[in-house]
Chain A
């Protein structure tokens, strides 16, 4: 197919698009195919003009969206398309809008061929024709015609995208429609890419997918704030610098706190509204911190006025050494008797200890030992204990009024006791 033919196809497409909005008669139902419908289907090479206009056929196919049924006809079986009459084609809503009677086959004389079967019966070829296009008065719903041609005419594939509703097209398809392929190679490439991209990504990423790149239009103004993302790719960086970021912040601030936040990416930094007024602190200096040494506290000890010391008085030792003594010191001679008595008590002897007089307070100069006198007051008083001797195993209890146990050893003793009753 040459560039001229492509241009003609474009012109035809534009014309069809112009006419598609024009009012057209509606059909309630297609009539049953007449007997001569089979002859109309086999029209390749015939010189007769088709009775049915092309616009009706294309419009019906576009409404039905079932162009594939026409394209998927088995070319190896010519009877399948030539002899099998198709009563009607239905739309998705069940409305019969297509009739086999309306199938149009243009011959080569019209220099425009559509739905033509080649010699092998495999592919359909669309050829442009000025005369045939001029005859198309009614509007068509063809929105896009993609023609592809191989090296030979047999390899040419025709794909009709007869979707009547433009709103169902994706943005990519719209872009593709806006810039149609300039050559068959481009069309083939686009077709291959379409097939590859068929399992397209969902429009809305799942919540568990984490932060996603927003698909904002690139034409929006760049926002005032940007966020630091770890090594963003070129596409991501381009999208993040778009104005969508600013709107995301507003959406976050005004978002419903109950709603799950996974739908929108969370900003890594607090916003200015959250921060409020920030007070900047001066940076730390290198000055060393000096601490003032705590002054020693002077505890005011109570001052006791020293009493007038006499010659025989001695101040008691105070402090830690007040209760300590040297273990190697021998006991004073006055305490020997008391110590011996203490040892005897510990040994279990109950001998009364000897009366020990109270030792006189020690003076600076050891006083001479004083012999104990009977009149002297004993310092330790020991009790003389006289324990009661152990009682033998004797029945102590006697019950008054109780019957004494009677165990007669002889019969006569029992008889005598009974006679005493």
Chain B
């Protein structure tokens, strides 16, 4: 039985030293607007690399707590991975299942649409580190407070991105993936 996510004193603010500590690792508080400015200047690949590095750290902590992660159910994974993202201040995580497609939803993201790439890279890094699978996360739907990310392969993610760019609804694009997977 996996242990539940316990955020007790997960973030330590050492005011004497002027440091924020998470699991013995120092953190820095950065304004989101400045971060977005930086991401915009770094380019897509720089943002993706930056985000992957942030997600890999979160995935490692999840994997450290979930010894038998392959046997962990969806609720457990959402609990732990979502807890790590919450500690990073990136919003609340949820999991949606559209047929066979895995869709991760983030509520209350601090970023606007300019930070969707960064957030998708964080999720990719966390999943790769925790599960050991090479995944591609693509943002398919966005509202003011809710962002949906589909977890696919790199090729499938490219096709879905192109389909949505052509005007297809993200739900229809995912439904189309179901028949193709059956075939």
Contacts of B20 in A (CB 8 A): none
Query: Which positions 374-421 of chain A face chain B at CB distance < 8 Å?
Result: 401, 403-404, 406, 408-412, 414-421
Using known A-B contacts A410-B72, A411-B77, A414-B74, determine if residue A421 contacts B101 with beta carbons closer than 8 Å. Answer: yes
Q: Which of A403, A411, A416 contacts B72 (CB 8 A)?
A: A411
Contacts of A406 in B (CB 8 A): 97, 99-100
In the complex, A417 Cα to B182 Cα: how many Å? 11
Of all chain A residues, the one with the shortest Cβ separation from B156 is A421
Closest Cβ of chain A to B47, distance in Å, is 23
Binds A, one of B37-45, B110-118, B127-135: B127-135
Q: Which of B77, B133, B182 contacts A419 (CB 8 A)?
A: B133
In the complex, A411 Cα to B78 Cα: how many Å? 9
Q: Is B71 an interface residue (CB 8 A)?
A: yes
Contacts of A419 in B (CB 8 A): 133, 135, 151-153
Q: Is B180 an interface residue (CB 8 A)?
A: yes
In the complex, A420 Cα to B76 Cα: how many Å? 22
Q: Are B131 and A415 in contact (CB under 8 A)?
A: yes
Q: Are A412 and B99 in contact (CB under 8 A)?
A: no
Please give the residue numbers on chain B whose beta carbons come within 8 Å of chain A beta carbons, in ascending order. Answer: 69-74, 76-78, 95, 97, 99-102, 127, 131, 133, 135, 150-153, 156, 177-182
Contacts of A416 in B (CB 8 A): 133
Closest Cβ of chain B to A151, distance in Å, is 140
Of all chain B residues, the one with the shortest Cβ separation from A406 is B100
Contacts of A421 in B (CB 8 A): 100-101, 152-153, 156, 177-178, 180-181
Closest Cβ of chain A to B166, distance in Å, is 19
Q: Are A418 and B101 in contact (CB under 8 A)?
A: yes
A-B contact count (CB 8 A): 66
Contacts of B69 in A (CB 8 A): 411-412
Q: Are B102 and A412 in contact (CB under 8 A)?
A: no
Contacts of B102 in A (CB 8 A): 414-415, 417-418
Closest Cβ of chain B to A400, distance in Å, is 10
Q: Are A410 and B133 in contact (CB under 8 A)?
A: no
Contacts of B74 in A (CB 8 A): 408, 410-411, 414
Q: Are B97 and A414 in contact (CB under 8 A)?
A: yes
In the complex, A414 Cα to B75 Cα: how many Å? 12
Contacts of A415 in B (CB 8 A): 102, 127, 131, 133, 135, 151
Q: Are B72 and A418 in contact (CB under 8 A)?
A: no
Q: Are B100 and A418 in contact (CB under 8 A)?
A: yes
Contacts of B127 in A (CB 8 A): 415
Using known A-B contacts A411-B76, A412-B70, A421-B181, determine if residue A403 contacts B99 with beta carbons closer than 8 Å. Answer: yes
Q: Are A403 and B153 in contact (CB under 8 A)?
A: no
Of all chain B residues, the one with the shortest Cβ separation from A418 is B102
What are 25 A-B pairs with beta-carbon distances under 8 A? A401-B179, A403-B182, A406-B99, A408-B74, A408-B97, A409-B73, A410-B71, A410-B73, A410-B74, A411-B72, A414-B97, A414-B100, A414-B102, A415-B127, A415-B133, A417-B100, A418-B100, A418-B150, A419-B133, A420-B100, A420-B181, A421-B100, A421-B153, A421-B178, A421-B181
Closest Cβ of chain B to A218, distance in Å, is 126
Closest Cβ of chain A to B120, distance in Å, is 15
Contacts of B97 in A (CB 8 A): 406, 408, 414
In the complex, A401 Cα to B179 Cα: how many Å? 8
Contacts of B133 in A (CB 8 A): 415-416, 419
Q: Are B77 and A418 in contact (CB under 8 A)?
A: no
Contacts of B178 in A (CB 8 A): 403, 421
Closest Cβ of chain B to A166, distance in Å, is 126
In the complex, A421 Cα to B100 Cα: how many Å? 8
